[in-house]
Amino acid sequence: MRQKSPSSDTPQLGGVLETALYVDDLVTARDFYGETLGLELVTEVEGRHAFFRLGDGMLLIFDPVTTVEPPAPDDALPVPPHGATGPGHVCFAVDADDLDAWNAWLERHGTPIEADFHWPNGARSVYFRDPAGNSLELAARSLWFDDA
């Protein structure tokens, strides 16, 4: 079903600033996202989270057990409890010409490719899993955007 366009007085969203995935082993996840995928680790709290810079946004990796706990009344960061169960999904934007190099890189680092798919619009997606089982995808922006 196609959504109607927002009215002219609807405040505009600027994009996705952060995306969160949940893992059962933060150390393994930190190594995978930092070393295998080459993301810059911005901050981490042992046993709770590791946050990575990803282009104009952030990828937040959380331990789901700790994020469902409400903050203490005197906590300086009163973020409400949140979390998810089961594998999540993130699609990373890459240059279409780099997909073969990514496939080779992931294979060399022991990360099997689950699917290498060409969409009807000509875009290509490569799917693989992080160590926690989250579904990760690499694709050019042309998957969704004509101006890419």
Domain encompassing residue 60: 16-68
Average pLDDT score over the chain = 90
Task: Report yes or no on 74 lying in a domain.
Answer: no
How many structural domains comprise the chain? 2
Task: Report yes or no on 77 lying in a domain.
Answer: no
Residue that terminates a domain, selected from 68, 101, 131: 68
**With bands split at pLDDT 50, 70 and 90, how would you rate the model's confidence at 3?**
low
Q: Please give the torsion angle defined by the CA atoms of residues 116, 118, 119 and 122, in that order, rounded to the nearest 10 degrees.
A: 140
Say which residue the tokens 């890189």 belong to.
105
Q: What percent of the chain has pLDDT over 90?
A: 72
CA-angle at 136, arms to 135 and 142, nearest 5°: 130
For residue 140, what are the contacts with CB-CB under 8 A and spacing of at least 6? 93, 94, 95, 96, 99, 123, 124, 148
Query: 35-47 burial, b for 16+ CB within 10 Å, e for fewer?
Result: ebbebeeeebeee
Task: Report yes or no on 80 lying in a domain.
Answer: no
Distances (CA, A) of 89 to 82, 134, 137: 17, 6, 8
Q: Tell me the pLDDT tens digit for each residue of 35-74.
A: 999 999 999 999 999 999 999 999 999 999 998 888 778 7
Q: Are residues 64 and 91 in the same domain?
A: no
Q: Tell me the pLDDT tens digit for each residue of 130-144.
A: 999 999 999 999 999
Q: Are residues 147 and 91 in the same domain?
A: yes
For residue 109, what are the contacts with CB-CB under 8 A and spacing of at least 6? 36
109, 36 contact by CB (below 8 A) = yes
- CATH number, position 124: 3.10.180.10
Q: Are residues 55 and 95 in the same domain?
A: no
For residue 43, what are the contacts with CB-CB under 8 A and spacing of at least 6? 49, 50, 51
pTM of the model: 0.88
Task: Report yes or no on 28 lying in a domain.
Answer: yes
Helix (H) / strand (E) element for 72: namely none
